[in-house]
Amino acid sequence: MAEAVFKGSFTQQEPIGEAAIEAAVRVMRSGRLHRYNVVEGEVSEAAALEQEFAAWQGARYCLACASGGYAMHVALRAWGLRPGEPVLTNAFTLSPVPGAIHNAGGRPVLVETTEELTLDLDDLAAKIEASGARLLLISHMRGHLADMHALMALLDRHGVALIEDCAHTMGALWDGRRSGSFGVAACFSAQTYKHINSGEGGFLTTDDPELMARAVILSGSYMLYGRHSAGPPPEAYAEIRLDTPNCSGRMDNLRAAILRPQLRDLDRQVGRWNERYRAVEAELAGANGLNVPHRPPKERFVGSSIQFLTTEVAPAAAQDLLARCRARGVELKWFGAPEPQGYTSRHDSWRYIGRQALPRTDAVLARLFDMRLPLTFSVDDCRLIGRIIAECHALTAARLAS
Ligand SMILES: *Cc1c(COP(=O)(O)O)cnc(C)c1O
């Protein structure tokens, strides 16, 4: 029997829905694409989206902006990061995270990753002591949430503030509480490969009026901050409005218009992602030598991607597995590759932050594979993909043993 080959595309997202397309056309017909270009009494699409996102997330305030990376940079500055100050963050994350810290004038201090792909809290405690950092920018990388209660207790003990990068946890919960509601601020992305899609886009949420006032001015509000109906009252701007630079990075009404219907649909989409995740997971779970990180019962995750670790550590084994899967239409990413590829890079290729020794993370990354699960895949597609990976891995393991 011929081996089954998967024919779908790992980078093809679902089309934008008709309601969003109609909303976009309405904005274009009006000509008022800039968020502050409103007629008397009108609430712009961007401002309405901010109100809806704040309500959905359970945050007091929300700012929509140009990207998730921009939101992180603004959050760090609005929080009061000082030039050259250390900022703790995950060693296992994507490049916009150290990039945002650098952009805000901070110095990333990388923290180790566990086999469950969450922040290593022991290493965090050690690096809080060693660095004297006042802030952790946690990246809930690939949607894996650390034990948020243990994390908050540790940070509170040391007086360290938290900002959350929720690029992969928009819609996720820890113990019934939204990811992004634990820290002083949270950042989200609406880039095509995240959970809602406007091509580019980001959000910053917080309950802190002064932080949000600074963020709004930083984002490029000019003196039109009063049009941020999901922002703080005018008094919050009085002290800071002339002391805060304009680092232009607004969201426009066209993007906002296509995100509003998607936000209404997000909880349903989370269910669809998780069905697909569980289908791949079930196939991988039965395979010898493949470990899918365990998902704690307190975590409601969004399975928009899946990760697994192999027991083999040899780079040749990883290359063999990648090649076999590729030949059968399954595109895996491997975090152990020495050269950065596509979207994926690792901490040692961010040379501008200086080399940092992360032996535990390196040992995890050497065995870590990653795959997107776009909603254009059916649940049957996901079963097939899981089966292909398990079969290819068995062949790799057999070759290694012979
Ligand atoms: C995509 C991503 C971001 C940044 O989002 P952009 O909107 O692309 O700037 C931040 N963190 C992680 C982990 C991401 O994957």
Arithmetic mean of pLDDT, 175-204: 98
Q: How many angstroms separate the alpha carbon of residue 344 from the centre of ligand 1?
A: 12
DSSP string, 194-239: SSS-SSS-EEEEES-HHHHHHHHHHTT-TT-GGG-TTS--THHHHT
Average pLDDT over all residues of the chain:
96
What is the C-alpha to C-alpha distance for residues 211 and 194, in angstroms, rounded to an integer? Answer: 25
**Lining residues, ligand 1, CB within 6 Å:** 67-69, 93-94, 96-97, 139, 141, 165, 167-168, 189, 191, 202
Residues shown for the chain = 402
pLDDT surpasses 60 at 344 = yes
Per residue in 333-343, pLDDT tens?
A: 999 988 888 88
Q: How many angstroms separate the alpha carbon of residue 187 from the centre of ligand 1?
A: 9
Arithmetic mean of pLDDT, 357-370: 96
Residue 1 has what pLDDT? 53
Q: Which of 194, 304, 307 to mutate to test the pocket of ligand 1 (most atoms within 8 A of CB)?
A: 194
Q: How many angstroms separate the alpha carbon of residue 152 from the centre of ligand 1?
A: 23
Atom of ligand 1 lying closest to residue 93 CA: 13
pLDDT surpasses 60 at 41 = yes
Arithmetic mean of pLDDT, 24-37: 98
Atom of ligand 1 lying closest to residue 94 CA: 13
Q: Which of 73, 191, 193, 335 to mutate to test the pocket of ligand 1 (most atoms within 8 A of CB)?
A: 191
Per residue in 276-306, pLDDT tens?
A: 999 999 999 989 999 999 999 999 999 999 9
Q: Which of 92, 94, 113 to mutate to test the pocket of ligand 1 (most atoms within 8 A of CB)?
A: 94
Q: How many angstroms separate the alpha carbon of residue 394 from the centre of ligand 1?
A: 34
pLDDT surpasses 80 at 402 = no
pLDDT surpasses 90 at 400 = no
> CB–CB of 139/89 below 8 Å?
yes
Helix/strand/coil for 185: strand
Q: Which backbone phi and psi does 356 adopt, to 5 degrees?
A: -130, 140
- Name the packing angle between helices 18-30 and 253-264 (round to 10°): 160
The token duo for 136 is 């952790």
Arithmetic mean of pLDDT, 226-254: 97
Residue 342 has what pLDDT? 86
Q: How many angstroms separate the alpha carbon of residue 92 from the centre of ligand 1?
A: 13
Residue 90 has what pLDDT? 98
What proportion of the chain, given as a percentage, has pLDDT over 70? 100
Q: How many angstroms separate the alpha carbon of residue 49 from the centre of ligand 1?
A: 20
Q: Which backbone phi and psi does 145 adopt, to 5 degrees?
A: -95, 130
Name the residue at shortest CA distance from atom 5 of ligand 1: 68
HSE value, Cβ hemisphere, 13 Å, CA-based, for 131: 25
Q: Which of 97, 187, 195 to mutate to test the pocket of ligand 1 (most atoms within 8 A of CB)?
A: 97
Arithmetic mean of pLDDT, 121-138: 98
What is the C-alpha to C-alpha distance for residues 104 and 88, in angstroms, rounded to an integer? Answer: 14
Q: How many angstroms separate the alpha carbon of residue 135 from the centre of ligand 1?
A: 19
Calculate the alpha carbon distances from 358 to 62, 109, 216, 333, 347 in Å: 35, 11, 36, 20, 9
Q: How many angstroms separate the alpha carbon of residue 38 from the centre of ligand 1?
A: 30
pLDDT band at 311 (very low <50, low <70, confident <90, very high): very high
What is the C-alpha to C-alpha distance for residues 277 and 306, in angstroms, rounded to an integer? Answer: 7
Q: How many angstroms separate the alpha carbon of residue 68 from the centre of ligand 1?
A: 5
Atom of ligand 1 lying closest to residue 343 CA: 15
Q: Which residue has the higher pLDDT, 401 or 26?
A: 26
Residue of 205, 169, 172, 203 lying closest to 188 (CA atoms): 203
Residue of 147, 141, 111 lying closest to 128 (CA atoms): 111
Residue 42 has what pLDDT? 95
Q: What is the pTM of this model?
A: 0.97
What is the C-alpha to C-alpha distance for residues 222 and 36, in angstroms, rounded to an integer? Answer: 10
Name the residue at shortest CA distance from atom 11 of ligand 1: 167
pLDDT surpasses 80 at 2 = no
Beta bridge partners of 369: 308, 334
